[in-house]
Structure 1
Amino acid sequence: MMKQMTTMMALAVAGSLTTHAATYELDLAHSTIGFSVRHMMVTSVKGHAKEFQGVIEFDSENPTAMTATAEVSVPSIYTANEKRDDHLRGADFFDAETYPAITFVSTGVEGDLPDLTLHGDLTMKGITKKIAIPVEVLGPVVNPWGATVIGLEGQVTINRQDFGVSWSKALDGGGVVVGDEVKISIALEAVRKDN
């Protein structure tokens, strides 16, 4: 009897020490997924996605167990120039009709809060490549409306040629119209689903 009670107490204590990851969904009103790329080798064109969604599983007591998935709508890509946006959505660049989404699925996390590195698979135009995004994770905090929120901010540089986004033209003086390196920046706010 004593042995059974001891075992039950041990299980109870272990259970009380076990933490569970909470599910957070991106708040699009307070989140941005943007990009910038060199144009004519002298300036940068910046844009962002108007439509995207994502889910983060996060436990502040076990941050390296965090998982994240995101999907960006390619037709929603916006650079404040309609002609350029139509070109970006076309076959020369993203081919939105054939590949309407860009996705990211995390595969692992390393580091210590607030600075983590999020490893994962980025898929664009049907091509998947592994990337590592250094992110700062903030929170969780409770906002004035009683919802628990977290934030992620980070930036990563990719080569668009790796994903088959290859259109460009050479300049007479050297260089190209559109650079190969694309800086992707994220500033995400996510709300705990059980709020």
Structure 2
Amino acid sequence: MTLPALDTIAGTWTIDAAHSAVSFAATHAMVTKVRGRFDDFSGAINVTDENQAQVDVVIQTASIDTRQDYRDNHLRSADFFDAEQFPTMEFHSTGISVKDDEEFTLHGDLTIKGVTKPVSIDVEVGGVHTDQNGALRAGFEGDLAISRKEWGLTWNVALESGGWLVSDKIKINLDISVVKDA
């Protein structure tokens, strides 16, 4: 797949987790968003001389953080991510659809709890620049929405007034900074 902004820069680009974020939002009790993030993730983009790219990301499910310990422990349990049995979520790209020089859709396979499904991530290129330390750095922002039920994340509670405690639709936001390996 051709990757805008990196199409002439062959090599491996590693995610700089200190300057990146993997966050999400779910609707709680049908009225408000609960936001969270994963604090431990890694990945790389490998760009070939033929202007093709492979994106691979691994997220540690136990690193979930919603700023509430009880909820985080519940999300790590078998009711949701079952972090003990399934310690990682993974994304591996399968293709790209270029919109223009600054936007593309990244297609790939997302694996959660041992279930792999295709997803598409709308991505905006933040830029490619040399940073203050002389390293070549690129930035991307991506968004997607998934149905958590498709990955076996089905725990829920019916509300007396109708609806559900936790929405099925989960919005995921990726703010990713990558650095070209020397």
TM-score normalized by the length of structure 2: 0.92
Of the candidates 58, 65, 83, which is equivalent to residue 71 of structure 1?
Answer: 58
Amino acid at match of 1:102: M
Please list every run of at least 4 consecutive aligned residues from structure 1 whose deviation after the TM superposition is greater than 4 angstroms.
none
Give the match for residue 87 of structure 2: 100
Give the match for residue 81 of structure 1: 68
Amino acid at match of 1:77: I
Secondary structure of the structure 2 residue equivalent to 1:162: helix
Of the candidates 11, 14, 22, which is equivalent to residue 33 of structure 1?
Answer: 22
Question: 107-116 vs 180-189, which deviates more?
Answer: 107-116
Secondary structure of the structure 2 residue equivalent to 1:55: strand
Amino acid at match of 2:87: P
User: Is residue 2:45 matched to residue 1:53?
Assistant: no
Give the match for residue 161 of structure 2: 173
Q: CA RMSD, aligned part only?
A: 1.6
Cα pair distance change 1:91/1:175, threshold 3 Å: same
TM-score normalized by the length of structure 1: 0.86
Q: Deviations over 1:94-153 (max 9, x none)?
A: 100110000000000111321011000000000000000010123321011100000110
Give the match for residue 143 of structure 2: 155
Q: Distance in 2 between matches of 1:99 and 1:131?
A: 20
Cα pair distance change 1:154/1:115, threshold 3 Å: same
Question: 174-183 vs 111-120, which deviates more?
Answer: 111-120
Q: Deviations over 1:133-180 (max 9, x none)?
A: 010123321011100000110110000000000000111111000000
Q: Deviations over 1:14-62 (max 9, x none)?
A: xxxxx56221101111000000000000001100011000101247994
Of the candidates 111, 115, 126, which is equivalent to residue 138 of structure 1?
Answer: 126
Larger Rg: 1
Secondary structure of the structure 1 residue equivalent to 2:82: coil
Report if the CA contact (8 A) 1:66-1:109 is conserved: no
Structure 1 residue ranges without an equivalent (≥5): 1-18
Secondary structure of the structure 1 residue equivalent to 2:144: strand
Secondary structure of the structure 1 residue equivalent to 2:55: strand
Instruction: Give me the identity figure in percent.
Output: 43
Q: Give the Å deviation of 1:66.
A: 2.5
Q: How many residues align?
A: 174
Q: Please state which structure has a larger fraction of its residues in helix.
A: 1
